[in-house]
Amino acid sequence: MNPKTIWQSASDAEGKTESERYLTKLAKKAFLSLWSYSNLFSDEGRASGKGDGNELCDLLVVFGNNVLLFSDKECKFTQHQDIMVSWSRWYKRAIEKSVRQLIGAEKFLREHPGRIFLDKNCQTRLPLELPSPSVATYYLIAVTRGSHEPSKMYFGGGSSGSLLIDTLIDGDVHYKNPFRVGWPAANKRFIHVLDEMTLNILLEELDTVPDIIEYLQQKEVFLTQPGVNVVVAGEEQLIAQYMLPMEGGGHAFPNIPDGVDYAAILEGYWEDYSVSSQRRAKHEANADSYFWDRLIEYQSSFIRSGEAIGISESEMTPSDHERIVRALADESRLSRRLLAQHFLHALSISEPGKKFARIAVSYTNPKRMYVFLTIPKPPGDSYEQYRKTRGEVLFAYCYGLKLKYPLAYEAVGIASEPLTEPISSQEFAYVELGDQPMAEQFSAVIQEAMDKFEILQSDTMQQKAGHDFAKAMGSASGKRN
């Protein structure tokens, strides 16, 4: 049995406490395992290479230029006859301590992104490269546990027990406002504070990297409008307000009119949304999309084990392989639903001696195009020769898209046997096509490959009626040769 690689060991880490393990489990489902790492360390404080490093944070998610830092604190809420005493003690141990850890972790990452390790002895570096601080966007998330039941008792009246958001509260003012959170970092840095209930809701409703990042971005904008005090009866109410409208195919917070200096979101929105037909229909429709998640995790397992094989002539690094699956993970839940349906359709098509390709445009990024290619293995070919040819056809498709659709910026390809074949394997390709037209000499080479493999020929391309992406790039097609 081969020893585990560094990447495999990092993926197996689950956290030291029960609450950290639960956070890691939720995060790996939403952010997926290749980009989620628990209990990392910095080498800050080590002298002459000796001693233990400092714990960076409880969970780190790195996805392209986005870095999410989580601090998880489970603290018992000790009851006192004076609620101010109980609250201030809990707030200091749960929220204030998390804030200090998150601010320190962000500062260290900005200054020393290459000094993050998997072990406290700081011998094994984080296998995934962190983005340069000049382009990175950091999100700080404090996960607190222990306040839920006391909060329900304090507010009464059927309160959900989640922490109330009040942007007027700043720094030490929190000590005088039980179960209310505003700017715990003293108006210096936005901190997302979640409790045990709202963490679950957030990662259930928005369970992809782009969906969660979009929510965090819009939330920060909504709650930091100059001159406006915003009060929200819990993160779950904010999530419901965000999920209900669909503007331009996406979610959004309500607009606060000019001249308004106070806005409130009261209880009841989440309670209505959680049992709505809209939410039920969304969850039912998303069933196919989790095939996309499984596809990403399956390929990620080969990347972590060092077994991923490149299909291009140049040698591929683990970072190259990560970039391919990151493009797949960069799709929203809605986009994954639609793309999974396209890929499953391509897998269902099988005619001896004929290949089939379904071309689609990303719903998340209209300049990203996909090729889903299935080719039955010819009886006379070795499996090695079959996969080599299949990879060449896939790359010809990916580059050929630029000739057919000049606005395409990047192409992602997945090639496989049809489902009718006795064995199955996949090739993945990612090609950055860029904004500029393809060089004349290179376009001639690609056109020759397209003609050789008889692909992307105008007379055989068929637009699928009612295709969801037709407006984005002007066409979508299914093709059989």
Asked whether residue 162 is domain-assigned, the answer is yes
Asked whether residue 281 is domain-assigned, the answer is no
**Looking at 6-15, 20-29, 71-80, 214-223, which range is the least confident one?**
6-15
**Does the pLDDT of residue 477 top 80, yes or no?**
no
* 292 and 266 in a common domain: no
10-39 tens-digit pLDDT: 777 777 788 888 898 998 999 999 999 998
Report the Cα 363 to chain-centroid distance in Å: 15
How far is residue 369 from each of residues 31, 263, 431, measured CA to CA in Å? Answer: 22, 41, 10
pLDDT-based confidence at 183, cuts 50/70/90? very high
Asked whether residue 191 is domain-assigned, the answer is yes
What value does the mean pLDDT take over residues 40-66?
88
- Report the 10 Å Cβ neighbour count for 125: 16
Report the Cα 437 to chain-centroid distance in Å: 31
Of 26, 5, 290, the C-alpha closest to 128 is 5
Residue type, 3: P
DSSP track, 134-146: TT-EEEEEEEEES
Residue type, 44: E
CB 340 within 8 A of CB 288: yes
pLDDT-based confidence at 467, cuts 50/70/90? very low
Q: Of 251, 275, 299, which marks where a domain is finished? A: 275
* 105 and 33 in a common domain: yes
* 321 and 185 in a common domain: no
Distance CA 103, CA 60 (A): 14
Return the biggest CA–CA distance within the chain. 83
Strands (E), 215-321: 229-232, 262-265
- Report the 10 Å Cβ neighbour count for 403: 16
Specify the pLDDT at position 247. Answer: 63
Distance CA 95, CA 97 (A): 5
* 294 and 180 in a common domain: no
pLDDT-based confidence at 1, cuts 50/70/90? low
**Does the pLDDT of residue 459 top 80, yes or no?**
no
**Does the pLDDT of residue 134 top 90, yes or no?**
yes
430-447 tens-digit pLDDT: 999 999 999 999 999 999
The three-class DSSP label of residue 100 is helix
Asked whether residue 397 is domain-assigned, the answer is yes
Q: Which domain holds residue 339?
A: 287-480
CB 277 within 8 A of CB 393: no
Distance CA 41, CA 228 (A): 39
Q: The tokens of 228 are what? A: 């406006």
Asked whether residue 124 is domain-assigned, the answer is yes
* 267 and 160 in a common domain: yes
**Percent of all residues in the chain with a pLDDT value above 70, rounded to a whole number:** 94
* 74 and 213 in a common domain: yes
Number of domains within the chain: 2
398-421 tens-digit pLDDT: 999 999 999 999 999 999 999 999
